[in-house]
């Protein structure tokens, strides 16, 4: 028997086979969920996928670019309200509202990102905190557009005819595939972005802003651009959320939501591509489990206390998130050696499984 | 970058696919929800009914059955008409969703105790018609609309056939489209929003509380009895859907009558828990003849305490103050001390329910006993608990009427019985039964102004019972 850990070359046949098996397992799981799970099970999973879309955006900003945001509930809400207003006031077909929601949130994200050019750390956090706090008040203030405290109700989005799904009975299945598809695409976009020059610029900006600027990174462009992309992803999630819930109102997009998104990112693992997905699943299912425990035992607040304790334990056991923990454990069994760089230069010291992606050498693979 | 561009194209493609094709499938409310029709009366039409609370005899029903067409739901508009008309045999699964944890649970959790108390006592006596027990489920939604949706989805999967007493306007709104399209009864939504009277678009949904518009009109009329020539009014409200519904209703009736001028509006956020000192200062400065106060939960206490401070500091500040029925809880008024003395509110419950923990009349006594049986330290004067009991009692009556119909209990016969209800609850004002029919979508249209006596720690009825029966109109 070979000594552990086993070394696998990235891109080798065995590595590809393992990846194929993982992908196949996930596809089979999704098919099984869509065809055999009941309404509530599928709805809960869909909620986790929607949150994961937003957390993926947040992870780009916080995890990979090093900018803090406590204001993502506002971007999520702007996406939701853009969809709701276009459907309710202007009679748009719900599916088409995703485009303007993404565009509006990108623009707002870029504008909100401007202070990030001069602010860092807790000061930037305060600016985004103000956004999160002000957003519900703004919704109340501009009642003629947003419906004020009553919000906008009665949003309807039935499965498109080409899906073969019909009516509200199949709505849970439709939203599951929609959320899964959008999460898949946003995750792949994030992955490819991080492997590109822009991604390396983001990581360089996070690791050492001065050094990155000296090396030619346009810090202003990177910071504001990532803020925009991150906000756009949160807005897309908000749009799907609004259509699934059939309504929007100011109480849904408070500071609590921002904190939940941050918690989802940290539980899963910041700066890791699988982190948002795992973190969102734990967040949504953990909250539901805690609620059920409270109902079953008829003890006020028991569920919330248990969920809080779980989060604390998780942070002690897995300070780099659950995906980080998984990587630490996996390294003891299998190490994946990255491809050597394309240049003829001798390969650098492998940075496999490091959390800090290399700047100049082979781009780190944050989804390993 | 090439990969990123491809992914951007893929995202755009996916969004287009998501967008395409849904135009044809979308419809107006009438397309996706089961429509209502009126038809010749069937056997579920309400007469004078006397479903008794456990161990009680109901107050006699003195009202004639209304001379209107009976309601009959059109199940062909359901996504699964067969399921809506399938007989429900054995135990009947009834579900509700409300905040059992989180901040609002302080106010609403006793509702669950009242709900549970009724069903436990009712099942002990044999259940519906003595043959079918009620298997009830209470889920926690933390007063959050998306959790209400999750809770209702779970209950549908668990086989719940009838939903009743769900608390909160956005919470009920979040599940209304689904339940109407799938044809599940969504009865006695525990909110006073006007939306629950929309028989045409949402025949499977009804409210429980006296509509906020009715209460606003009642306060307006009461104010004019105090000062017939009219006067000035100020409004203090929580700035959310609940508060704004009252404000709009009161402004509308004041504008129509033209006798009361609104001179000040002060608001607080729903999450505010501190004393509304600044707002009270402004109210004192406005010096109105009347104040309509619309706080929520613990804010009821904070407002009255602040009112007491203002009155103590300014002897000339003596407006007629009315707090909405959602504050009409002896726990709130008692907690406010002297500040609550003389403050008016309203209720459609019997005075015994909210005035004494040991009522003697059969209905209130049965309620108090049942409540203590499920929770020994429960306070029967807590009107939230009474509301939960009331919702369950109405539901039991509807199930009994449905059982008597030709088809027995089906989801359709349940909704027909609900829409044709004519029932005197054991907890509400005798002589004023709850009535709904094809033209009347509101069940609670009767109220009684009361005034708190801090010395005696009770609400005292003031004036006559006010009835708007059959007059409430649904407005979008």
What residues of chain A lie within 8 A of the CB of B107, using their CB? Answer: none
Q: Which residues of chain B are within 8 Å of residue A192 when distances are taken between CB atoms?
A: 3-4, 6-7
Name the pairing type of β-strands B186-189 and B205-207: parallel
Considering only the beta carbons, identify the residue of B1, B22, B27 that sits closest to A94.
B22
Whether A174 and A27 map to the same domain: the answer is: no
Q: Are residues B454 and B309 in the same domain?
A: yes
Tell me: the pLDDT tens digits for A36-45? Answer: 999 899 999 9
Closest residue in A to B150 (Cα–Cα): A40
pLDDT, tens digit (0-9, with 9 covering 90-100), for B428-451: 988 889 999 888 888 888 899 999
List, for residues B96-110, the tens digit of each pLDDT value. 999 988 777 878 889
- The answer to whether position A302 is within a domain reads no
The ipTM assigned to this model is 0.79
Q: What are the b/e assignments for B302-323, b being 16+ CB within 10 Å?
A: bbbbbbbebbeeeeebebbbbb
Considering the domain architecture, whether residues B180 and B253 belong to the same structural domain is answered as no
Residue B399: inside a domain:
yes
Residues B312 and B357 in one domain: no
Say yes or no: A55 and A173 in one domain.
yes
Query: Under an 8 A CB cutoff, do A197 and B109 touch?
Result: no
Looking at the fold, whether B386 and B342 belong to one and the same domain comes out as: no
Same domain, A180 and A151: yes
A38/B157 touch (CB, cutoff 8 Å), yes or no: yes
Q: Mark whether B154 and B244 lie in a shared domain.
A: no
Residue B125 tokens read as 């006596």
Question: Given the structure tokens 């000296």, which residue do they identify?
Answer: A214
Q: Are residue B219 and residue B204 in the same domain, yes or no? A: no
Choose among A247, A30, A41, A47: nearest CA to A157.
Answer: A247
pLDDT value at position B475? 59
By Cβ distance, the residue of B3, B140, B177 closest to A291 is B140
Of A39, A162, A247, the CB nearest to B145: A247
Contact B3 A182 (CB under 8 A): no
- Say how far residue B428 (Cα) sits from the centre of its chain: 14
| String of DSSP letters for A221-282 | HHHHHHHHHHHHHHHHHHHHHHHHHTEE-GGGSSHHHHHHHHHHHHHH-TT-TTHHHHHHHH
- The residue in chain B having the minimum alpha-carbon distance to the alpha carbon of residue A91 is B23
Tell whether A113 and A185 lie within a shared domain. yes
Contact (CB<8Å) A93/B26: yes
Do B26 and A39 make contact, defined as CB atoms within 8 angstroms?
Answer: no
Strand partners, A153: A247
Chain B interface, mutation test: which of A291, A302, A305, A367, most B Cβ atoms within 10 Å?
A291
Q: B335 and B276, same structural domain?
A: yes
Q: Do A45 and A95 have their domain in common?
A: yes
Same domain, A17 and A154: no
pLDDT at A298: 64
Q: Is B316 part of a structural domain of the chain?
A: yes
My answer on whether A6 and A78 are in the same domain is no
- Contact call for B27 and A182, based on CB within 8 A: no
The closest alpha carbon to B135, from B151, B147, B123, B152, belongs to: B123
Nearest Cα neighbor of B446 from B259, B221, B218 is B218
The minimal CB distance from B140 to the residues A169, A188, A295 is found for: A295
Shortest Cα–Cα distance, B149 to chain A (Å): 7
CA max distance for chain B: 81
Report the mean per-residue pLDDT for chain A: 88
Phi, psi of A252 (to 5 degrees): -85, -15
Q: Please check whether residue A345 lies inside any domain of the structure.
A: no
Whether A143 and A4 map to the same domain: the answer is no
User: Does residue A119 share a domain with residue A6?
Assistant: no
Which residues in chain B land under pLDDT 70?
1-69, 472-476
Do B455 and B391 fall within a single domain?
A: no
B5 falls within a domain: no
Q: Do A26 and A126 have their domain in common?
A: no
**pLDDT (0 to 100) of residue B33:** 45
The answer to whether residues B123 and B140 belong to one domain is: yes
Residues A25 and A157 in one domain: no
**Domain presence at residue A6:** yes
Is residue A140 domain-resident? yes
Question: Which tokens go with A77?
Answer: 């809400």
Nearest to B394 by CA among B386, B405, B383: B386
Residues B428, B334, single domain; the answer is no
Q: How far is CA A191 from CA A9, A57, A178, A187, B81, in A?
A: 20, 11, 20, 6, 47
B271, B301 in Cβ contact below 8 A? no
Determine how β-strand A247-248 pairs with β-strand A152-153. antiparallel
Residue A97: inside a domain: yes
Number of structural domains found in chain A? 2
Are residue B218 and residue B318 in the same domain, yes or no? yes
Residue range(s) defining the domain that contains residue B419: 12-42+54-210+353-444
Contact B466, B221 (CB under 8 A): yes
* CATH code, B370: 3.40.50.2300
Structural contact between residues B275 and B305, judged by C-beta atoms closer than 8 angstroms: yes
Beta bridge partners of B467: B446
In a domain, A189, yes or no: yes
Does B243 fall in a domain?
Answer: yes
What is the spatial distance between Cα B81 and Cα B34, in angstroms, rounded to a whole number?
Answer: 10
Give residue-wise pLDDT tens across range A66-111.
999 999 999 999 999 999 999 999 999 999 999 999 999 999 999 9
Q: What is the distance in angstroms between the Cα of A164 and the nearest Cα belonging to chain B?
A: 11
Which chain B residue has the Cα nearest residue A101? B15
Rounded to a whole number of angstroms, the distance from the CA of A187 to the nearest CA of chain B is 10
Regarding whether B404 and B368 lie in a shared domain, the answer is yes
Strands A152-153 and B162-164: unpaired
Q: What percent of chain B has pLDDT over 70?
A: 84
Q: Between the CA of residue A276 and those of A188, B147, B234, what are the distances in Å?
A: 13, 21, 49
Residues ≥6 apart with Cβ < 8 Å to A338: A10, A350, A351, A352, A362, A364, A365
* A233: nearest CA partner in chain B: B11
Tell me, yes or no, whether A342 lies in a domain. no
Query: What φ, ψ does residue A7 adopt, rounded to 5°?
Result: -105, 125
The count of structural domains within chain B is 2
Which of A42, A53, A95 to mutate: most B Cβ within 10 Å? Answer: A95
Domain that holds residue A1: 1-36
Both A19 and A56 in one domain: the answer is no
Q: How does residue A346 score in pLDDT terms, banded at 50, 70 and 90?
A: low
């Amino acid at each position: 028997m070979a000594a552990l850990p086993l070394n696998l070359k990235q891109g080798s046949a065995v590595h590809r086979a393992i990846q194929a098996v993982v992908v196949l397992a996930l596809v089979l799981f999704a098919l099984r969920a869509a065809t055999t799970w009941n309404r509530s099970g599928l709805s809960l999973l869909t909620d986790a996928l929607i949150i994961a879309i937003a957390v993926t955006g947040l992870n780009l900003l916080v995890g990979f670019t090093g900018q803090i945001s406590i204001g993502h509930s506002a971007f999520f809400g702007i996406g939701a309200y853009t969809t709701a207003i276009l459907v309710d006031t202007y009679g748009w077909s719900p599916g088409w509202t995703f485009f303007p929601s993404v565009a509006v949130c990108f623009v707002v994200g870029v504008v909100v990102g401007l202070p990030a050019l001069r602010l860092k750390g807790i000061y930037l956090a305060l600016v985004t905190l103000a956004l999160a706090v002000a957003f519900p008040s703004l919704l109340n203030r501009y009642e003629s557009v947003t419906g004020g405290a009553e919000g906008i109700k009665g949003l309807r989005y039935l499965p498109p005819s080409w899906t073969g799904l019909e009516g509200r009975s199949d709505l849970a299945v439709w939203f599951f595939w929609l959320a899964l598809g959008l999460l898949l695409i946003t995750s792949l976009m994030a992955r490819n972005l991080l492997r590109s020059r822009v991604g390396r610029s983001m990581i360089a900006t996070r690791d050492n802003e001065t050094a990155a600027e000296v090396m030619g990174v346009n810090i202003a462009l990177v910071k504001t651009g990532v803020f925009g992309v991150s906000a756009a992803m949160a807005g897309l999630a908000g749009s799907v959320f609004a259509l699934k819930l059939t309504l929007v109102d100011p109480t849904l997009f408070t500071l609590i939501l921002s904190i939940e998104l941050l918690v989802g990112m940290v539980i899963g693992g910041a700066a890791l591509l699988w982190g948002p997905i795992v973190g969102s699943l734990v967040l949504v299912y953990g909250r539901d489990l805690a609620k059920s425990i409270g109902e079953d035992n008829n003890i006020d607040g028991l569920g919330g206390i248990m969920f809080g304790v779980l989060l604390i334990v998780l942070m002690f056991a897995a300070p780099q998130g659950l995906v980080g923990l998984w990587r630490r454990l996996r390294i003891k069994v299998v190490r994946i050696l990255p491809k050597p760089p394309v240049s003829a230069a001798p390969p650098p010291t492998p940075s496999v499984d490091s959390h800090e992606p290399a700047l100049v050498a082979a781009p780190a693979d944050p989804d390993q | 970058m090439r990969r990123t561009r491809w992914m951007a194209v893929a995202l755009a493609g996916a969004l287009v696919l998501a967008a395409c094709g849904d135009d044809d499938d979308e419809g107006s409310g009438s397309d996706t929800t089961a429509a209502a029709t009126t038809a010749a009366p069937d056997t579920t039409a309400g007469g004078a009914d006397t479903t008794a609370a456990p161990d009680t005899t109901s107050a006699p029903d003195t009202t004639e059955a209304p001379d209107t067409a009976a309601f009959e739901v059109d199940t062909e508009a359901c996504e699964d008409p067969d399921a809506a008309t399938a007989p429900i045999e054995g135990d009947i699964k009834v579900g509700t969703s409300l905040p059992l944890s989180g901040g609002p649970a302080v106010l609403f959790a006793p509702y669950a105790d009242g709900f549970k108390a009724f069903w436990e006592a009712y099942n002990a006596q044999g259940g519906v018609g003595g043959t079918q027990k009620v298997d009830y489920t209470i889920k926690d939604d933390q007063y959050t609309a998306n959790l209400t949706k999750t809770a209702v989805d779970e209950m549908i999967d668990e086989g719940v056939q009838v939903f009743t007493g769900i608390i909160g306007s956005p919470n009920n709104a979040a599940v209304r489209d689904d339940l109407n399209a799938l044809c599940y009864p969504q009865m006695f939504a525990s909110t006073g929003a006007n939306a629950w009277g929309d028989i045409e678009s949402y025949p499977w949904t009804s409210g429980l509380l006296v509509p906020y518009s009715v209460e606003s009109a009642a306060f307006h009329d009461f104010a004019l009895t105090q000062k017939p020539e009219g006067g000035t009014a100020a409004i203090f409200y929580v700035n959310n859907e609940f508060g704004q519904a009252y404000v709009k209703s009161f402004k509308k009736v004041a504008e129509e009558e033209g006798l009361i001028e609104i001179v000040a509006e002060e608001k607080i956020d729903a999450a505010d828990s501190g004393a509304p000192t600044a707002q009270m200062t402004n109210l004192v400065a406005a010096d109105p003849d009347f104040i309509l106060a619309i706080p929520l939960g613990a804010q009821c206490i904070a407002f009255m305490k602040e009112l007491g401070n203002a009155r103590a500091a300014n002897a000339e500040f003596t407006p007629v103050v009315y707090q909405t029925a959602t504050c009409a809880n002896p726990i709130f008024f008692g907690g406010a001390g002297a500040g609550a003395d003389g403050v008016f509110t309203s209720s459609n419950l019997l005075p015994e329910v909210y005035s004494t923990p040991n009522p003697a009349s059969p209905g209130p006594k049965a309620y108090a006993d049942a409540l203590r049986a499920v929770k020994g330290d429960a306070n029967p004067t807590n009107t939230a608990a009474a509301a939960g009991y009331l919702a369950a009692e109405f539901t039991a009556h509807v199930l009994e009427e449905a059982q008597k119909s030709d088809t027995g209990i089906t989801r359709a016969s349940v909704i027909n019985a609900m829409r044709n209800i004519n029932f005197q609850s054991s907890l509400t004002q005798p002589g004023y039964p709850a009535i709904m029919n094809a033209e009347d979508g509101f069940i609670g249209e009767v109220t009684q102004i009361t005034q708190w006596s801090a010395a005696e720690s009770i609400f005292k009825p003031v004036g006559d019972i006010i009835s708007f029966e059959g007059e409430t109109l649904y407005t979008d």
